[in-house]
């Protein structure tokens, strides 16, 4: 089975889904911000911006599309790694064990790669970013507050990744000190899933999976 083909078939769909599902929400925000029909503000002395609630709903819709894509990407990676290890067991009799509960399933698979003596230092993918995909996915799938639609990073995740990839640049700037070397999160940042971040996350997952496949076939030739 061509595992890389099926992984990239899934990531291609995720891009397709984001592009088409996000467009209506992006268009609403754009029309409101540009004061275009049907969101031309009427005369008002109210200091609150016109169509604020409509803009906020569209923004929440856009973030929700990103959350869905993040979940799809995380599950796609999980399925690939599960199939990759299963192939070793079924076709080559290589038995692997790992603790998938202690630090999450991605950390468990990393421990398997180390046992297999794969040179992870040569992997072209950003493994730190990939691990954050799984953590952010867990947060959006298991929100803790009923009072808000947006989802924040957890304290534990911020301890592991004080400069989270899935955070808004403005929040990172506010939290950084003057020198920009330390991050102190007084208020936990929300999980930001913009198109740029989703597409970068997809690229890193594809790099990891392509590298793992190359390592597998290289081992077959030796």
Say what angle helices 127-141 and 105-115 make with each other, to 10 degrees.
150
Chain centroid to CA 159: 18
Residues 41-99: tens digit of each pLDDT: 988 877 888 999 999 999 999 999 999 999 999 999 999 999 999 999 888 888 887 77
Tell whether the model's pLDDT for residue 155 goes beyond 60: yes
Classify residue 99 by burial, with Cβ atoms within 10 Å: 0-12, 13-18, 19+. Answer: exposed
Residues 161-190: tens digit of each pLDDT: 988 999 988 777 776 654 554 555 677 889
Tell whether the model's pLDDT for residue 150 goes beyond 90: no
Q: Which domain does 13 fall in, by range?
A: 3-41+49-220
Tally of structural domains, the chain: 1
- What pLDDT is stored for residue 217 in this prediction? 86
Residue 11 parent element (H or E): helix 3-33
């Amino acid at each position: 089975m061509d595992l890389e083909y099926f992984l990239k078939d899934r990531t291609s769909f995720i891009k397709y889904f984001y592009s088409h599902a996000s467009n209506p929400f992006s268009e609403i925000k754009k029309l409101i911000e540009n004061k275009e029909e049907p969101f031309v503000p009427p005369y008002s002395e109210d200091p609150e911006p016109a169509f604020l609630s409509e803009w906020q709903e569209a923004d929440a819709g856009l973030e929700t599309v990103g959350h869905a894509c993040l979940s799809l990407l995380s599950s796609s990676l999980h399925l690939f790694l599960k199939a990759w290890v299963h192939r070793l067991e079924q076709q080559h009799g290589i038995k692997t064990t790992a603790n998938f509960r202690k630090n999450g399933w991605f950390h468990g698979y990393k421990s398997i790669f180390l046992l297999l003596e794969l040179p992870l230092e040569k992997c072209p993918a950003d493994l730190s970013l990939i691990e954050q995909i799984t953590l952010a996915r867990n947060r959006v799938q298991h929100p803790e507050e009923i009072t808000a639609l947006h989802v924040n990073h957890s304290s534990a995740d911020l301890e592991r990744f004080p400069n989270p990839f899935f955070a808004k640049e403005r929040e990172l700037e506010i939290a950084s000190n003057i020198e920009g070397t330390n991050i102190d999160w007084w208020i936990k940042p929300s999980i930001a899933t913009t198109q740029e971040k989703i597409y970068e996350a997809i690229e890193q997952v594809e790099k990891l999976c392509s590298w793992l496949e190359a390592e597998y076939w290289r081992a077959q030739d030796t």
